[in-house]
Amino acid sequence: MRKEVDHIEEYRQELKELEAFKNDKSEMFETDDSADLEELHLRIKHQEIVESQYTRIRNEELWRIWIDLIYPWLEEEAMTQGLHVILDVDDEKLTGKITISGDRFFINNLYCDAKNYLEVMVHYANDFWISDENGLFVVEVLFDLYDKEKTSDKTQEIEKAKQDFNSFRLQHGKKVRFKFNP
């Protein structure tokens, strides 16, 4: 049995239409960039208040997984497959990023280490994406190396930040439909 789909031409046509739409200088809606910027600042303020309730504590298990297991395996794969691997860890924020790039990256079921390590990476990743740059594939993986411990309660400040945000949106004719879920 063979199944196949081909949406290349359809996709190319949509991209042409999108490009034409982006090049159209007339805007359908008036925008107020300063209001959008202020709304962004209010969102950031809310998130900073929520995060300030917590202290980050280094998670030794996550550290072992990312630094002691995954990265050494990626070093070996880089040597055998001709990859470029970068590990960036912010020791203060306890966050990290692994970037893998190269011409190709072989993963299959016969060589189980690659499949198993990639499953672990995806499982413990906060976010990841695959792209291409200058003819090379690029895989970027973001991860945390901490647990959160609540050290203070700022419920009143959080509520005030929500109210400020909602009232700002109402003043600028926007509906209050966004919900904050810390």
b (16+ CB within 10 A) / e for 111-135:
eeebeebbeebeebbeeeeeeeeee
Q: What's the pLDDT score for residue 124?
A: 94
Q: What is the pTM assigned to this prediction?
A: 0.64
Query: Which one is predicted more confidently, 28 or 111?
Result: 111
Spatial separation of the C-alpha atoms in residues 85 and 156, rounded to whole Å: 45
Q: What's the pLDDT score for residue 87?
A: 94
Averaged confidence pLDDT in the chain: 83
Summarised one tens digit per residue, pLDDT across range 121-132 is 999 999 999 998
Summarised one tens digit per residue, pLDDT across range 3-53 is 566 667 787 888 888 887 776 655 555 555 677 788 888 889 988 898 889
Give me the DSSP letters along 113-158. Answer: HHHHHHHHHHHH-SEEEEEEETTEEEEEEEEE-EEEEE----HHHH
pLDDT of 89 above 90: yes
Q: Sketch the domain layout of the chain as residue ranges.
A: 33-56+155-176, 57-145
Q: What's the pLDDT score for residue 5?
A: 62
CA trace torsion 72, 78, 80, 81 (10° rounding)? 140
